[in-house]
Amino acid sequence: MLTIPFIANAQHPPVFEGMATDTSYIVAGDLNINLIKYSHGDPEIHFLTIHDNEDTGVKAAFQFINVNGGSIVDCQYGGVRNYKFIYNEQTYQLDPNSIYTKRGIKLGLEKYGPSSEEVILEMEKAGKTIMNHYNPAMHGYIFTLHNNGDGGFGIRSYLKGYELESAADSVHINFEMDPDDMVLVTELDLFNRLKKANVNVVLQSKDAPDDGSLSIYAMQNKIPYLNVEVQHGHLDENLNLINICAGMVSELYPPPLKKAEN
């Protein structure tokens, strides 16, 4: 019988020569979450992917890192979206993008089933472990990569009368772009630059509801945040948006050494 080794990792692009990895681990009940940091060259731009079923962003980031240097923390837990695990004989499930505030964790668990104090604490720890491994304090920003389906969530979700209206302060749409390809930011200066570049962009509202997502955590902790989000498979569009944003991030949030030289 043919056996295919490492099938669990098959979704990830091959690691190219000169790439280094550094892994942290989270154990939640019977679920193992590997936080693999891939880095190459002299990393200046640092990416983070928190949904393990969103791989176009990882592929685009690898291409960017191969050319420019950089790093990405990729959360790997079986190629699915949600964390699902058994803890004390009870099954729990939540979206990993709801673990960054205590309120969000509770809401996130209750969306799929039971919640408990112990599991809330475990998820709080998981969020902290991810942040420690990514280390936004060192970079001066959080740069996440997400992928979405065709037609569902997109830039139009933030328009008046749509489900995420209250999460947006301002929206700029380039009607030539696919509405599923967009950037979400928490900083006005980054929003203005992306608007000028005629990119689909949302400025998160200061009053955006606390759903435990990383963008809310970033806002609460005054860390500039950006999320480049494109439709699954839009690799070229993804790389293009990453390139545009990386240039702006380098200018707005230069690494500490460069700051010292200026």
Shortest CA distance to 257 belongs to which of 140, 143, 144? 140
Q: How far apart are CA 15 and CA 203, in angstroms?
A: 34
Q: How far apart are CA 166 and CA 169, in angstroms?
A: 8
Minimum CB separation from Zn ion for residue 2, in Å?
A: 33
Q: Is 146 left (phi over 0), alpha (psi -120 to 50) or beta?
A: beta
- In the complex with Zn ion, which residue's Cβ is closer, 44 or 238? 238
- Residues lying near Zn ion in the complex (CB under 5 A) are found at 51, 54, 146
Q: How far apart are CA 32 and CA 26, in angstroms?
A: 6
- In the complex with Zn ion, which residue's Cβ is closer, 109 or 228? 228
Minimum CB separation from Zn ion for residue 128, in Å?
A: 20
- In the complex with Zn ion, which residue's Cβ is closer, 72 or 193? 72
Minimum CB separation from Zn ion for residue 235, in Å?
A: 16
Helix 235-252, helix 56-68: angle, nearest 10: 50
- In the complex with Zn ion, which residue's Cβ is closer, 115 or 213? 213
Sign, CA torsion 220/204/98/229: negative
C-beta separation of 166 from 202 below 8 A: no
Question: How many angstroms separate the most distant Cα atoms in the chain?
Answer: 62
Query: Token digits for 94?
Result: 């939540």
- In the complex with Zn ion, which residue's Cβ is closer, 156 or 232? 232
43 contact partners, CB below 8 Å, separation of at least 6: 65, 69, 70, 71
3 state SS of 85: strand
Minimum CB separation from Zn ion for residue 142, in Å?
A: 14
C-beta separation of 183 from 241 below 8 A: yes
Minimum CB separation from Zn ion for residue 148, in Å?
A: 7
CB atoms closer than 10 angstroms to residue 189: 12
- In the complex with Zn ion, which residue's Cβ is closer, 44 or 225? 225
- In the complex with Zn ion, which residue's Cβ is closer, 44 or 100? 100
